[in-house]
Structure 1
Amino acid sequence: MQSRHVSRVIAAPFATVHDYVREPDHLPLWAEGLAQAEVSREGDDLVIASPMGQVRVRFVPPNDFGVVDHDVTMPNGVTQNNPMRVLVHPEGSEVVVSVRQLDLTDEEFERDCAQMAADLDRLAELLERS
């Protein structure tokens, strides 16, 4: 199993990026690899229509450190932890996501990494326009 850290520098302040990324209602606007429709809430879980089917997502509690780790429970019941950070960067902020291969083929892993890069590009476009 391999991991790859996919990152994107965003020309926006740390607080702006961190708050935007943590807001569940924003997920369908930038996280196409995870959310394809409006997000609903059930307790601490987010219920999301994703490319993989309906998934449940739970973020770590809000914090001042930029940690936006989240667990995604897949339709088959398997839960995957997704490390994610928003970091202060000299040009604004940097978002770093760890993509893990787990049981994916090399081709599927490359596809997931490319999807994450595209999602982060979309996030940057949204935040840099505002």
Structure 2
Amino acid sequence: MVRSAWAGRDWGMRSIHVSRVVAASAEEVYAVASDPDRLPAWASGLASADVVREGDLLHVASPMGKVTVRFVSRNDLGVLDHDVTLPDGTVVTNPMRVVAHPDGAEVLFTVRQLAMSDAELERDAGVVAADLERLAALVERRA
């Protein structure tokens, strides 16, 4: 019998992977999702007002207060990972991808528990799911 060193460990942090298939190409979805000026139109969990740019930093009013966002450089791989610096200085890294899918593209976002309760994690995942729904609607209207 092989026993995994991972079995039974309580790592104290869960992740929830939220995804949404969009009826458009991965390139179209990436173009909209990576445009900072469009964040308020779909990412209500992050940006509730216009984005102020300062180099590669984005300053936005969010439900969490004023935050600073830094996305990875534009790329051909569909990677939209971004760090969010919260008002208290905590930096949260958010993995996000746009990948090809047989029905168009799929957007994947990982929500990490960090210091949240299970209920807060579930609420955050719900906010992300709603944001991805808005992104899909925005892109599909353009297509």
State the TM bucket, normalised to the shorter chain. Answer: over 0.9
| Corresponding residue number in structure 2 for 1:21 | 33
Encode CA deviations 1:33-65: one digit per residue, 9 max, x unaligned: 000000001121000000000000000011110
Q: Which residue of 1 aligns with 2:6?
A: none
> Aligned letter for 1:54?
K
Say whether 1:79 aligns with 2:105: no
Paired-residue identity, %? 58
2:80 to 47, 68, 90: 68
- Partner SS state of residue 17, structure 2: strand
In 1, distance between residues paired with 2:56 and 2:128?
Answer: 24
- Describe the SS at the equivalent of 2:120: helix
| TM-score normalized with structure 1 length | 0.98
1:95 aligns with 2:107: yes
Determine which structure has more spread, i.e. the larger CA radius of gyration: 2
2:98 aligned partner, one-letter code: V
Partner Cα separation in structure 2 for residue 124 and residue 90 of structure 1: 15
Partner amino acid, structure 1, of 2:118: D
Q: How does 1:24-63 map to 2 (within 5 A)?
A: 24-63=36-75
The 3-state SS of whatever aligns with 2:110 is strand
Q: C-alpha separation between the residues in 2 aligned to 1:48 and 1:108?
A: 22
What residue in structure 2 maps to residue 11 of structure 1? 23
d(CA) in 2 for partners of 1:8, 1:43? 30
Q: Matched residue of 2:88: which SS?
A: coil
Q: How far does residue 109 in structure 1 lie from its aligned partner after superposition?
A: 0.6
How many pairs align? 130
Whole-angstrom CA distance in 2 between matches of 1:124 and 1:108: 24
Deviation at 1:14, TM superposition (A): 1.1
- Counterparts of 1:102 and 1:63 in 2: how far apart (Å)? 28
CA distance, structure 2, for counterparts of residue 43 and residue 63 of structure 1: 17
